[in-house]
Amino acid sequence: MFVKLFINLFIEFGPIIGFLIASESTSFIKATTIFVALTVIALILGFVERKSLAWFPLIVAIIIVTFGLLTVIFKNPFFIIIKDTLYNGIFAVVLFVGLYYGRLFLKILFGGMFAMTDRGWKVLTFRWATMFTLLAITNEIARSYLDEYGWVDYKFIATLITIIFSLYQFRLSRSERLPSSTPWGMRIKP
């Protein structure tokens, strides 16, 4: 059980934690190379562990690998740093537009994991769209005023806040869960 938990934690947070640790002991470019490599490993491990390739981790991996390789090839931290502004900004816009038109994209991406009411999915979508907006704005501020190592400090804080925010959403999944789900709103696999 602990092995499975450790594997899942590595899949979700291993690449960014590896990047943050590596950036303290090596150059930004080498830390980015480690980030890209760990992202690919986590994607493969996730596929092996879950016997399927989930859309959201795949999208995230493609973005990280693309911008990470641009950073390494051109030896310019700009690309991996601007990735967060673009990534978070695009996700915010997509979620807000989907919400406006009644399309619950988070339900499409994570409906296999969570079993919640449509009201729960709407609240969750609004919360994440707002969070992505704030992350895009703060990343842009950090990018404009900090060097790459100052940005790493910002990224560490932003990652911690995002993890806490993610965990807080379990209160919503618990209160808006469907009767067929676990007490925390997780979908029960047959």
**Each residue of 87-107: pLDDT tens digit?**
999 999 999 999 999 999 999
Specify whether 173 is located in the same domain as 103. Answer: yes
Specify whether 164 is located in the same domain as 102. Answer: yes
C-alpha distances in Å from residue 16, one per residue of 50, 60, 76, 116, 126: 21, 12, 18, 29, 25
Number of domains composing the chain: 2
The pLDDT > 90 percentage for the chain reads 69
Mean pLDDT, residues 55-78 taken together: 94
Last residue of a domain, one of 45, 76, 107: 76
- Cα–Cα distance measured from residue 190 to residue 174, given in angstroms and rounded to the nearest whole number: 20
- Cα–Cα distance measured from residue 109 to residue 55, given in angstroms and rounded to the nearest whole number: 7
Identify the domain containing residue 114 by its residue range. Answer: 78-190
pLDDT at residue 128, as a whole number: 97
Q: Do 109 and 146 touch, CB atoms closer than 8 A?
A: no
Specify whether 173 is located in the same domain as 85. Answer: yes
Residue whose tokens read 């493969």:
44
Strand partners, 114: 186
Mean pLDDT, residues 78-86 taken together: 97
Specify whether 37 is located in the same domain as 5. Answer: yes
Specify whether 36 is located in the same domain as 96. Answer: no
pLDDT band of 5, cuts 50, 70, 90: low
Mean pLDDT, residues 58-77 taken together: 96
